[in-house]
């Protein structure tokens, strides 16, 4: 008898790959549809939101320029087009490369493209470090709640989490950048690299890391509580599960019970947090980038708000929304894959 004939009716085939079932496909399709509907709402909301901001974008655009009154009048005529005409033009192509920033006189998507990678480098590094350290703290604190390590780590991370990002950044900048309490300043106070440094060389990479230390440290300290507290709470809930008692009854050591059974299941809520944080990587930390003059999307958004630079604000808000919606969708789809309870 062949192997295919030996497979019992209703049991999974050991040879053929597992196909996506009807309920699973409906769950995935529903999540994708919700993400698309949310994005459509954001695009519409994005258009009307920034037209409520006070200020004169034409006056900002023409400030300090030698422009004829006819040119200014043409710009105002373009700005004062009927609102529905502007709306349909925007809906047809929200990513129109021909839209210029009124503050920087440069295409908005070209300007955003220049600022994305500094933000990804800074926020991505901070989130990776905070994720690794925070999960480790959460595992150790959650496996033995009430211990000295649990009390110290939970109190410390909560204290750091309660601090405003800009305030903590300014304190680190004063103490470790400028110098205070008898300590000299060790690190740069702003920028992504020293003037004249070629950032494409190994020496330039080290210079960028040197400039990135303080803003990255600020974000890492703030984000630690997110991962450690979620992981701690999830692991404490898992400790009450009966399957862990069964694993101990089989003779597994406590370390193996935690490593093989408790931690993998406790990581599920943390996965959502990780991917949502990755979505916020693109948004940038506006206050931290402003404090440290880091030339990323956060500082660009702050500069656009000072205008207000409506085309640039529209583009950055749309990019931020796409990043968060996309990251949330990926997290939900991963849940469907790794957690059978979602499929049921």
Nearest to 286 by CA among 276, 294, 275, 277: 294
pTM of structure:
0.75
CA atoms of 193 and 209, how far apart (whole Å): 9
Phi-psi region at 84: left, alpha or beta (left = phi > 0; alpha = psi -120 to 50): alpha
Cα dihedral 198/201/206/207 (nearest 10): 0
Query: What was the pLDDT predicted at 21?
Result: 55
CA–CA dist 243, 333 (Å, integer): 26
Encode 88-101 in three state secondary structure: HHHHHCCCCCCCEC
Per-position b or e across 12-36, b if 16+ CB within 10 A of its CB: eeeeeeeeeeeebeebbeebeeebe
Nearest to 289 by CA among 304, 302, 308: 302
Q: The tokens 């993400």 sit on which residue?
A: 35
In this prediction, residue 133 carries a pLDDT of 92
Q: What is the DSSP letter of 213?
A: H
Q: What is the pLDDT of residue 13?
A: 45
Report the alpha-carbon distance of residue 276 to residue 335 in Å, rounded: 13
Widest distance between CA atoms in the chain: 91
State the sign of the Cα–Cα–Cα–Cα dihedral 63, 65, 66, 67.
Answer: negative
Q: Angle at CA 299, nearest 5°, toward 293 and 302?
A: 125
Q: Which residues of the chain carry a pLDDT beneath 50?
A: 1-18, 20
**DSSP-assigned states of every residue in 256-276:** HHIIIIIHHHHTHHHHHHHHH
Q: Spell out the domains of the chain, with CATH numbers in brackets.
A: 21-53+97-343 (1.10.3720.10)
Q: In Å, what is the CA distance from 200 to each residue of 100, 195, 212, 289?
A: 29, 14, 16, 22
Whether cis (ω within 30° of 0) applies to the bond prior to 116 is no
Q: What's the sign of the alpha-carbon dihedral 141, 163, 115, 93?
A: positive
Distances (CA, A) of 327 to 127, 216, 301, 331: 14, 22, 21, 6
Q: pLDDT tens digits for 94-146?
A: 887 777 787 777 888 888 888 888 988 998 899 889 989 999 998 888 888 88
Q: Cβ contacts of residue 296 below 8 Å, gap of 6+? A: 115, 116, 118, 119, 122, 123, 284, 289
Q: How far apart are CA 305 and CA 278, in angstroms?
A: 24
Are 276 and 331 contacting, i.e. CB atoms less than 8 angstroms apart?
Answer: yes
DSSP assigned state of 52:
G
* 36-to-44, 214, 305 alpha-carbon distances in Å: 13, 38, 28
R_g of the chain computed on alpha carbons:
26
pLDDT in tens, 5-25: 444 444 444 444 445 456 777
């Amino acid at each position: 008898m062949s192997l295919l004939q030996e497979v019992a009716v209703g049991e999974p085939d050991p040879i053929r790959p597992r196909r996506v079932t009807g309920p699973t496909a409906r769950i995935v399709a529903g999540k994708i549809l919700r993400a698309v509907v949310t994005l459509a709402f954001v695009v519409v909301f994005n258009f009307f939101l920034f037209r409520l901001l006070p200020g004169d974008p034409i006056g900002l655009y023409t400030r300090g320029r030698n422009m004829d009154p006819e040119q200014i009048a043409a710009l105002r005529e373009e700005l004062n087009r009927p609102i529905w005409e502007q709306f349909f033009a925007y809906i047809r192509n929200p990513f129109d490369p021909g839209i210029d920033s009124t503050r920087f006189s440069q295409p908005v998507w070209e300007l955003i493209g220049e600022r994305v990678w500094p933000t990804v480098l800074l926020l991505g590094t901070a989130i990776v470090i905070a994720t690794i350290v925070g999960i480790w703290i959460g595992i150790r604190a959650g496996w033995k709640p009430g211990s000295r390590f649990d009390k110290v780590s939970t109190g410390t991370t909560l204290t750091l989490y309660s601090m405003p990002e800009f305030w903590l950044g300014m304190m680190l900048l004063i103490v470790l950048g400028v110098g205070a309490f008898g300590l000299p300043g060790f690190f740069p106070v702003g920028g992504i690299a020293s003037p004249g440094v070629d950032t494409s060389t190994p020496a330039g990479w080290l210079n960028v890391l040197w400039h990135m230390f303080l803003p990255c440290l600020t974000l890492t300290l703030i984000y630690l509580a997110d991962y450690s507290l979620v992981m701690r709470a999830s692991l404490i809930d898992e400790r009450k599960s009966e399957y862990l008692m069964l694993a101990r009854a089989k003779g597994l050591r406590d370390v193996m019970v935690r490593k093989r059974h408790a931690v993998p299941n406790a990581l599920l809520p943390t996965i959502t947090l990780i991917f949502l944080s990755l979505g916020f990587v693109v948004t940038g930390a506006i206050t931290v980038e402003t404090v440290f003059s880091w030339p990323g999307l956060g500082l660009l958004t702050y500069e656009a708000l000072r205008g207000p630079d409506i085309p640039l604000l529209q583009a950055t808000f749309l990019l931020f929304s796409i990043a968060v919606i996309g990251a949330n969708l990926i997290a939900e789809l991963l849940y469907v894959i790794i957690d059978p309870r979602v499929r049921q």
